[in-house]
Amino acid sequence: MIYIVKEKRDRLDVFASNVSNLSRSFCQRLISEGKILVNGKTAKNKTELNIGDSVEFLQTEPTKLDLEPKDIDIDIVYQDKDLAVINKPQGLTVHAGNSYDIEPTLVNALLYHLDSLSSINGVIRPGIVHRIDKNTSGLLVVAKNDIAHKSLAEQIEKKTCKRTYIALLEGVVKQDEGEIETYIDRSKKDKTKMEVSDSGRIAKTFYKVLQRYENYSLVEFSLHTGRTHQIRVHAKYLMHPVVGDDVYGYKKQKFNLKGQLLHAYKLRFVHPSLNKEMEFSCDLPEHFLKVLNSIENTKI
């Protein structure tokens, strides 16, 4: 498929997404793989387009899904013909890596429980609009068709999809509320980790203390951007890492946890076809409540 640029556009990935009805992230992947050409040549996501340029798609359809459905019990908070809202448990990976992982993922469960999933993100991430870490629990929205996927992805990109988390942090956070704005980039020492840096991508997080304890703080976080490990990295930046986080926090943990006490408890977005705002929330999981109950008598 070839499209001719009829008016000046800022960059290739935005134009490709607009004309093809594919998500911007999927178009970026096609561009990086040399499957979207400008005037017959490979280009970059940020390539500036001019009037008269031809943009050719060598691939417009994601590869057929071939992941195996698995009967994994998941909490489907809501679903209709366009989307589903899932309360993901701690310990379940959202999707496999580029080389198929052996352990079951949320995608395997979705293929079993839902009647359809969007194909925009290809064979590894069908339906996945955004993700949360394996050891973070809570809400995420899943697209059941490509039109819904594009709408939800645009809301996340434009920051109109609101995601709110609750975390238990080490130590007593003195300020009642605040805003953290830094650059976050891949760690130079460990490529599996992220870090606050002088360069990279801008990351903005809002926080509010809900309850203080003698040695801990229960904090609500709201994301303005969605960088990898953003809350965990920003909690470390505050010098109050998330309890249970042995990657960005303390290596020796007091509680017998299988991951960080970070829960995506609230999600708000505009429904792609109903065009009305929808908000969902879910309670803290049992493993989180167990720790809170154990420090209940240390409230400040």
How many Cα atoms sit within 13 Å of 248 on the Cβ side? Answer: 29
pLDDT given at position 99: 41
pTM given for the model: 0.77
Q: In the chain, where does the domain assigned CATH 3.30.2350.10 lie?
A: 62-156, 164-264+289-298
Angle at 80 between CA 91 and CA 103, to 5 degrees: 25
Report the alpha-carbon distance of residue 90 to residue 107 in Å, rounded: 15
CATH fold of 62-156 reads Pseudouridine synthase (3.30.2350)
Question: Quick check: 76 and 53 in contact, CB under 8 A?
Answer: no
pLDDT given at position 75: 97
Class of the CATH-defined domain 164-264+289-298: alpha beta
pLDDT given at position 122: 65
pLDDT given at position 100: 41
Tracing tokens 């992982």 back to the chain, one arrives at 101
| Active-site residue set | 133
| Chain centroid, CA 20 distance in Å | 23
Q: Closest Cα to residue 184, out of 200, 171, 170, 168?
A: 200
Q: In the chain, where does the domain assigned CATH 3.10.290.10 lie?
A: 2-57
pLDDT given at position 119: 83
pLDDT given at position 186: 85
pLDDT by residue, tens only, the chain of 300 residues: 788 888 766 689 888 877 776 667 778 888 988 899 999 999 999 899 988 899 998 865 555 545 788 999 999 999 999 999 999 999 998 987 544 445 788 999 999 999 999 987 666 678 899 889 999 999 999 999 999 999 999 998 888 999 999 999 999 999 999 999 999 998 888 878 999 999 888 999 999 999 999 999 999 999 998 888 999 999 999 999 999 999 999 988 889 999 999 999 999 999 999 999 999 999 999 999 999 999 999 999
pLDDT given at position 58: 86
pLDDT given at position 60: 58
pLDDT given at position 30: 86
Q: What CATH superfamily is the domain 2-57?
A: RNA-binding S4 domain (3.10.290.10)
